[in-house]
Amino acid sequence: MSTHEIYTIPAELSTWDVTMAGSSRFTWEYDEGRDRMLALYQKGKDKQWDSVKRIDWGLEVDPYDVLGLPDTSIAIYDTPLWHKMDENNRREVRRHGASWQFSQFLHGEQGAMICSARIVESVPDLDSKFYAATQTMDEARHAETYARFLQEKVGIAYPINKHLKALLDDTLSDARWDMPYLGMQVLIEGLALAAFGVMRDITTKPLPKQILAYVMQDEARHVAFGRMALRDYYKQLSDAELREREDFVIEGCYLMRDRLRGVEQWENLGLSPQEVKDAMKAVDESQYLRLFRSLLFSRIVPCVKDIGLWSERLQKAYADMGVLDMAGQNLDALMRQDEEIADRLDTERFAAEEAERAAEVAATVELGASG
């Protein structure tokens, strides 16, 4: 089935052409590299996995209850608009909310794949090219996984959100080689990683939990890659050059914040213009979503600080967004936790399968003995 058949809103184009600027850089130095970067590259190779085999696609998913969250997590819950709806309308609200969120994950992963390939092409040092090549494969696997989840388990999808599209356009059309790192590894990947983490930790459904945990295991390495490369490079930049990067970060963070409002999912539910306005007012005032939005910056803010972009005006922008206190998050501890959760999930899953097989064998032996 073509993805265009399940889009709730017609996609503008079958393909989106972005004109990219900058140079493709070759290096003839094959012997030297940063030990930390090469260690990350080795880990990237070791941790490759196959979504067809690692994920249990036989698990059922209710498209009207994808994550198993209480209705209190829905922005319009207990509002006059919510009370006007019958149960069929509320089921559609749940389905479209999950579809919209996972659709943006899917489009972001394709953007990450293209940005990673761009990094391979443009970054000057070979060790970064090596790692970015493994990341390109990771992102292809993630896009494959989310596309399958939407097609087979949810059944509807949304085109790319205009705010995410704008940030991808800015990231890919900039000629400077570090901008795909900054736009993708720090902003888009950082926000996605935090969103995956919130959903991974609160979902009660096993299939989305598997997908989110396994994708996060990769994404944690990707953010570490961006931190490592940019921290080294930004130490060499002038104040004026750093200010340009900070301008990009500030604008990008506002775009990411606005993306989270998801107005298109409400516009597509058959609501009147006034009801859409009421829904967006509920989105902006929802205490649950305010907390969710602030948590989504838990990976971005400390990463921006870590790479050396931390002027007073950048801190002021984060204070305005209500996320400045996220600067104290320990990124290394979060990354270790992401790794451990995915590994523990594997251990629990495969131990249960081994126990089930052992029980089957024992029952067969017993049946044979009694016969």
**Ranges of each domain in the chain:** 3-14+33-334
Stated pTM of the model? 0.87
Integer Cα distance of 125 and 25 in angstroms: 9
Distance of CA 265 to the CA centre of its chain: 19
C-alpha 78/C-alpha 92 separation (Å) is 16
Using one digit for the tens of pLDDT, what is the confidence trace for 316-348?
999 998 889 999 989 889 888 998 999 999 998
Phi, psi for 202 (deg, rounded to 5): -110, -15
pLDDT recorded at residue 288: 83
3-14+33-334 has CATH 3.40.50.2300 classification: no
The values of phi and psi at residue 284, to 5°, are -70, -25
Q: What per-residue confidence (pLDDT) applies to 2?
A: 77
Residue 195 is predicted with a pLDDT of: 87
Share of the chain above pLDDT 90, in %: 54
Q: Quick check: 91 pLDDT over 70?
A: yes
Place of tokens 């184009």: 13
